[in-house]
Amino acid sequence: MHWNSVYYAMMVLVMVLVFPIMSKAEGDEWFLMARHGECAKIKSLERKIPNLDGIDTPASFERLMRDRGLQVQIREMPDTQERAFEVLVPEKGLFLLFVKRPLCQGFIEK
Q: Given this model, what pLDDT does residue 24 score?
A: 40
- Where is pLDDT greater, at 32 or 110? 32
The full set of domain ranges for the chain reads 3-17+30-103
The H-or-E segment that residue 13 falls in is helix 3-18
How far is it, in rounded angstroms, from Cα 101 to Cα 39?
Answer: 8
Residue 93 has pLDDT above 50, yes or no: yes
Which residues make Cβ contacts (< 8 Å) with residue 61, sequence separation at least 6?
42, 52, 55, 87, 96, 98
Residue 21 has pLDDT above 50, yes or no: no
pLDDT tens, 40-74?
999 999 999 999 999 999 999 999 999 999 999 99
Residue 96 β-bridge partners:
87
Q: pTM here?
A: 0.72
Band of pLDDT at residue 27, cut at 50, 70 and 90:
low
